[in-house]
Structure 1
Amino acid sequence: MLNSPLSASSNELVINILAMVLSEGKPLDRAYSQHFSGLKLVPAEQARITTVTGDILRRLNLYCFLADIKPEEMERLGSKLLNVWHLFHELELPKMQYSLPVDPDDLVARIEQAKTNPVLWDGCPEWLDTMGREQLGASWEKERAALNRPPKRFLRVNGLKVSRDELVQKLATEFVSTQVVDSVDSALEVTSDSALFRTNSFKEGLFEQQDAGSQRVAAALDAKPGMRVIDACAGAGGKTLHIAAQMQGKGRLLAMDVEQWKLDNLKERARRNGAHNIETRLIVGSKTIKRLKLTADRVLLDVPCSGLGVLKRNPDAKWRDTADRLPVLMELQKHILSSYSRMVKVGGIVVYATCSIFPCENRGQVDAFLAENPNFRLLEDETISPADTGFDGFYLAKLERIQE
């Protein structure tokens, strides 16, 4: 966290970003992009702004309760919330041109009251807490607490260009401190406040910023050089690039998505990574999938999901999304698993994955699929717990096709 208050201009930026997210419904990453564009902020100050904004969104209901304001009042009353945030973290009050005062005695009383409500203290909306208890039972409380903590920074070493030990040493010469993640062969944890994307190591394609839990998903695919592999929900391609490194650039790797702009971004990243065996293909309808029936050795289905395992990294989602969205997502997951799994050949493996920790999106979907598809069997599955690992939360299931 910070060791000094934000400047007046940085406080104003935080308030404007929060107002855009909470009043206009913009995703946090787009709000950052819009407000930082054109500004000549030093990396350290930009990091301070994102630290404060992220922390406020992770525990928005708590800070709003302490400031006695509503989220939709952010544009008008945001200065009071920023003052409360600074006092809560035992920092001096920031200097702002227009600043609403905070009653210290009232704040102390509200903090003590909030401590008696663990759901509020953990920054969890009621709808999410209800769902979490239904899905995870007694283990939900530790996951709920883990999801309000700041995310760690992890890198995936690009094995096409460098070894993990070599990257550690090279980053050290660029004043980036890292440590090995024992449970994930390709991962490094960044332990310094460094501007990663300004390093020569990044420009040379030696690493990608990717959560260690996410790296375990692609690793489970166990893609080998010379295989035919399909990443059917590739997005911007973080896992696709990981698979390319597994394949040592040999074989055919088909990255597919329903949005062309994501595939265009992937092409740029692939060039920087030296991943030359990646081919992109836009999914324009069911025929795109049917033409690939029984052709792949490996298929990754990183399906659209609630994102409830990555809330510490995307905290705005829990204030924008509701329980009503989940059934729609689950129908889409069911469709993708049923349809896209047809692309894998006999003896091949499908990895079904989400960035959720709720069984209804995970093992529940897999069990329902297996009940209707006896030509597949479950090899193994895993839920990556934020509470137990310190990573983001993910689920993966390895399914083998045993007959046509």
Structure 2
Amino acid sequence: MLKSPLLPRFGDLVDAILDDVLTQGLTLDRAYARHFSGIELKPQEQARIALVTGDLLRRLSLYCNLSGIQVRQAAKNVWPLLHSWHAFHKIDMPNHPSLDRFNEEAFRRRLTEAKKNPVLMDGCPSWLEKLGAEQLGDAWPAERAALAWMPKRYLRVNSLKCTKAQLQAQLNKEHVSTIPVEGVDSALQVTSDSALFRTKAFADGWFEQQDAGSQLVAAALDVKPGMKVIDACAGAGGKTLHISALMEGKGRLLAMDVEEWKLENLKQRARRAGAHNVETRLITSSKTVKRLKESADRVLLDVPCSGLGVLKRNPDAKWRDTAERLPILMALQEEILQRYSQMTKIGGILVYATCSILPSENRQQVDKFLAANEHFRLLDDHNVSPSQTGFDGFYMARLERIS
């Protein structure tokens, strides 16, 4: 957390980023890229701006309430939100002309009332509170609170290039402090405020930044060197690169996606990581999948989902049309699971995964698939709970093709 006030020029940058997200509909990462690319900022300055922007979005409804404005007015009233943010965290106020309009007495009164409302204190919009309570019941309040936390920074050690001890030693030389993560062998938690992507260790491909919970997904595949493995919804390839490392770079690893630019990004990352067994293939039609019928020892389906397990990292999703999109996403998940599962050979394992904590996207989808496909059986499944682990939220189910 900041110990000194945000400089006015950085506050203006937060204002511009939030306008892009809340008014223009840009995702937070794209808004960061748009504004950070055009100006020269030190890594620490970028980190300060991202810290404030991220926390404002994680609990936007709270800071709006404390400022006496409606959420729909937030994009036009960012400086009042910033003053409330500083007051809430007991940080000296930025020197900005709008400070004259900040009413400390009204702020204190609103804060006293807000503390009686846990939903508001967690910055949870009404649609998400309804959905979470319906699907998770008594477990929801703890998850709701955890999703309002600031995310920790985790790395995945690239075992194709180094060991965990070697990476820690190299990062320590570059003034990056890390600690091991219990229960996730490939993970390190970054405990210092350091510019990770300017390190020699990153340039040399020794690590990827990846949530510790996300690292459990590739591990669930139980791959072995020499196997044929398909990552059928590879995206930019974070899990693909992890799978390659687990395969020790041996065997055939096919990364597939419907968006070519993501696969181009993956190719660059694979070269840096030394993941030479990665092949990419664009899914252009249903024939792309049919040609691979019963060909793979392992198939990963990291399907498109609501992303409600990763709200700490993508807080802008709280203020999008996620509730309306959920049925569309669930229909897509069902279609992908049905069609892409055919690539698994008899005796092979399929892993269905999401970054959601909703049963409707997770176990209920698996149960529906198994009821319609007797040639698969459930081996096990696992929920990664943000409240219990401190990680992002994930789900993974391991299915074996038996006939």
For 1:122 and 1:390, how far apart are their aligned partners in 2? Answer: 16
Q: Which amino acid letter does the alignment assign opposite residue 316 of structure 1?
A: D
1:240-279 alignment to 2 at 5 Å? 240-279=240-279
Using structure 2 for the length normalisation, give the TM-score. Answer: 0.99
For 2:71 and 2:48, how far apart are their aligned partners in 1? Answer: 21
Q: Which amino acid letter does the alignment assign opposite residue 212 of structure 2?
A: A
For 1:264 and 1:317, how far apart are their aligned partners in 2? Answer: 26
**Corresponding residue of 1:139:** 139
Deviation at 1:75, TM superposition (A): 4.5
Per-residue Cα deviation, 1:119-155 (whole angstroms, up to 9, x for no partner): 1111000110111011100000000000000000000
Find out whether 1:212 has 2:227 as its counterpart. Answer: no
> Is the Cα contact below 8 Å between 1:224 and 1:247 reproduced in 2?
yes
1:265-304 alignment to 2 at 5 Å? 265-304=265-304
**Corresponding residue of 2:113:** 113
**Corresponding residue of 1:194:** 194
Name the SS for the 1:24 alignment partner: coil
**Corresponding residue of 2:81:** 81
For 1:244 and 1:370, how far apart are their aligned partners in 2? Answer: 29
**Corresponding residue of 2:154:** 154
**Corresponding residue of 2:399:** 399
Find out whether 1:28 has 2:25 as its counterpart. Answer: no
Q: Is the alpha carbon distance of 1:363 and 1:100 closer, same or farther for their aligned partners in structure 2, counting shifts above 3 Å?
A: farther
> Is the Cα contact below 8 Å between 2:22 and 2:75 reproduced in 1?
no
Deviation at 1:80, TM superposition (A): 1.1
For 2:377 and 2:363, how far apart are their aligned partners in 1? Answer: 13
Name the SS for the 2:77 alignment partner: helix
Deviation at 1:20, TM superposition (A): 1.2
Q: Which amino acid letter does the alignment assign opposite residue 145 of structure 1?
A: A
Using structure 1 for the length normalisation, give the TM-score. Answer: 0.99
Per-residue Cα deviation, 1:22-44 (whole angstroms, up to 9, x for no partner): 11111000111111112111110
> Is the Cα contact below 8 Å between 1:230 and 1:256 reproduced in 2?
yes
Deviation at 1:99, TM superposition (A): 4.3
1:292-331 alignment to 2 at 5 Å? 292-331=292-331
Deviation at 1:14, TM superposition (A): 0.6
Unmatched 5+ stretches in structure 1 = none
Deviation at 1:165, TM superposition (A): 1.0
For 2:82 and 2:100, how far apart are their aligned partners in 1? Answer: 9
**Corresponding residue of 1:123:** 123
Q: Which amino acid letter does the alignment assign opposite residue 87 of structure 1?
A: A
Name the SS for the 1:316 alignment partner: helix
> Is the Cα contact below 8 Å between 1:305 and 1:356 reproduced in 2?
yes
Per-residue Cα deviation, 1:136-187 (whole angstroms, up to 9, x for no partner): 0000000000000000000000000101111111110000000001200100
> Is the Cα contact below 8 Å between 2:306 and 2:322 reproduced in 1?
no
Q: Which amino acid letter does the alignment assign opposite residue 311 of structure 1?
A: L
Find out whether 1:225 has 2:225 as its counterpart. Answer: yes
For 2:27 and 2:87, how far apart are their aligned partners in 1? Answer: 27
**Corresponding residue of 2:347:** 347
Find out whether 1:49 has 2:55 as its counterpart. Answer: no
> Is the Cα contact below 8 Å between 1:176 and 1:192 reproduced in 2?
yes
> Is the Cα contact below 8 Å between 1:302 and 1:354 reproduced in 2?
yes
RMSD: 0.9
For 1:301 and 1:80, how far apart are their aligned partners in 2? Answer: 44
Name the SS for the 1:154 alignment partner: strand
The aligned length equals: 403
Deviation at 1:342, TM superposition (A): 0.1
